Amino acid sequence: MEKARRSGIKDIVRLNGEKVSLGDLKQALESESLFGTVRLVIIENVLTRVRSKTKEELVRYIAVESPKGEVILWERKELTTAQLRLVNKTATVRLFKLSKAIFRFLDSIYPKNTGQLLGYYHETLKQDAPELVFYMLSRRVTSLLMAADYNGKELHAMQKWQRQRLLAQAGKFTSKDLQMLHESLYRTDVAVKTGKSILPLSSMLDLILSEI
């Protein structure tokens, strides 16, 4: 997203592909841009959305009707061959694997560890996009909240060592601090999606992390 802004694209819209309706998608792609330029629409996790009539309509609209504007489909996990067939043959498919740096960064998220945390964060940015870092950070904080609030009971799907690691990390926070961190990430997400963010996402995350 930041790369798109640097290239001159001002009108960027992010949509949650797991919840977006066909009407919302058409509105995003077919309405006129306020900037009079090409609009970039980023749709997250639509191809891995639970099978439904709405999903079929969304995929058909994107792949067959070829809406105007630039479209990026981002998925949190690697797609299967069958899922890739859903994409228009003219689409460019790229696989971005998570770096080891991002996991060091995620494990360093706890109070009174600002120096190491920011160091790992900046190291991660050299290999991973800010949007990916933000997604992984938000997911980790959500897991930490679950670990703190339910003493790990909601993490039963994880392996034992993963639960223990999350419980230990969550134990370094107070419940209030975790909730405040979660709220900061939520406000950042809203600001980015609505185009109200003044700073680039990487700088916004810098500020959030420096306050942990």
Domain boundaries of the chain, sorted by first residue = 2-84, 100-210
Q: How far is CA 144 from CA 147, 152, 173, 200, in A?
A: 5, 9, 9, 26
In this prediction, residue 153 has a pLDDT band, given cuts at 50, 70 and 90, of low
Domain 2-84 matching CATH 1.10.10.10: the answer reads no
Q: Do domains 2-84 and 100-210 have the same CATH topology?
A: no
Average pLDDT over residues 31-44: 69
Rounded to an integer, what distance in angstroms lies between the CA atom of residue 20 and that of residue 43?
A: 9
Q: How far is CA 146 from CA 90, 129, 142, 161, in A?
A: 41, 26, 6, 16
Exposed, middle or buried: residue 154 (CB in 10 Å: 0-12, 13-18, 19+)?
middle
Asked if the model's pLDDT at residue 68 lies above 70, the reply is no
pLDDT tens digits, one per residue of 75-132 = 878 888 888 888 766 677 777 778 899 999 999 999 999 999 999 999 999 998 898 8
Rounded to an integer, what distance in angstroms lies between the CA atom of residue 172 and that of residue 112?
A: 9
Q: Is the pTM of this model over 0.85?
A: no
Q: Smallest Cα–Cα separation from 67: which of 32, 26, 36?
A: 26
Exposed, middle or buried: residue 119 (CB in 10 Å: 0-12, 13-18, 19+)?
middle
H helix runs in 95-200, sequence order = 100-107, 114-125, 130-150, 160-170, 175-193
Rounded to an integer, what distance in angstroms lies between the CA atom of residue 184 and that of residue 187?
A: 5
Rounded to an integer, what distance in angstroms lies between the CA atom of residue 13 and that of residue 8?
A: 14
User: CATH code for 100-210?
Assistant: 1.20.272.10
Q: Tell me if 166 sits within 8 A of 143, measured CB to CB.
A: yes
Per cent of the chain over pLDDT 90 is 39
Average pLDDT over residues 152-159: 67
Q: How far is CA 21 from CA 53, 63, 75, in A?
A: 11, 16, 17
Asked if the model's pLDDT at residue 1 lies above 60, the reply is no
Q: Quote the pLDDT of residue 94.
A: 77
Q: What sign does the dihedral 75-78-83-89 (CA atoms) show? A: positive
